[in-house]
Structure 1
Amino acid sequence: MTELNTRSATPDDIDAVLAFWRKAAEGTSISDDQDGVGRLIDRDADALILAERAGQLVGTVIAGFDGWRCSAYRLAVHPDHRRQGIGAALVDAAERRFAALGGRRVDAMVLEANTRAHGAWSASGYHREDHWRRWVKSL
């Protein structure tokens, strides 16, 4: 199997990321447009992490840090590439970023109905805090 590479998104990736999310992500957001993704990249160039295999976009995660809290969201893996460790590699890349920034706790935003994602976050060591309805992990 071809090596998996992770990297930060650039403005040139915006259209490909939006098309990818329409296919691979569960649900959409009001900020899922060129302006929204462009603002993310402009504000924090390393927050949107892409996974590529053989030059093809196969996964994403947003690893946002506001100086106080780490937030992970938009973890998505292409349906044809699931169960190959891509999600785990993206979570690992996000956690390395957070640790380098001094983050101590990650809040993962996961859709309530996306039970497949619940299993992926749990397998990565996260636990659900029902009173907040989010998945968390201390680093």
Structure 2
Amino acid sequence: MKTIIVFVSLLACVFAQDADEEPVGPSPTPTKLPQCFSGGQFYNGTALVVEELEETCSENQRTCQTKVEVSQDTYRIYKQCQTPEACENNQRSNPQQCYSDEAEEKQEKVCHYCCQGDFCNDGSGIDISLPGAGEEA
């Protein structure tokens, strides 16, 4: 009888140790966070200043955003990581603030562009004309 109790006790200890050990095998692959350009470009009518960096986005900011502010002879381009919801909300203002006759008449536009994918906010999606575009900086 003592032999059975000792055997059961040893068996219980072995199972208790196994429960505390780390599982064997590959661990789950972490989701790759997107990368966006951040910073911007600033044109004051005579000179172009580019301050552009590469940024790894946070878990909730999975969208790259580009914001363009254009006035008569200047523009500012801001690039950053953004939450998809915030970027889409900003982009909804484009019909009024970017493409409207009123924005054109005032010569003041604010345009937002959203994209997903590493470094997709490289400026290729900007579909408005910028003052000084094509001039030597």
Q: TM-score, normalised by structure 2?
A: 0.28
Greater helix share, structure number = 1
- Higher RCO, Cα 8 Å, sep 6+: 2
Q: TM-score, normalised by structure 1?
A: 0.27
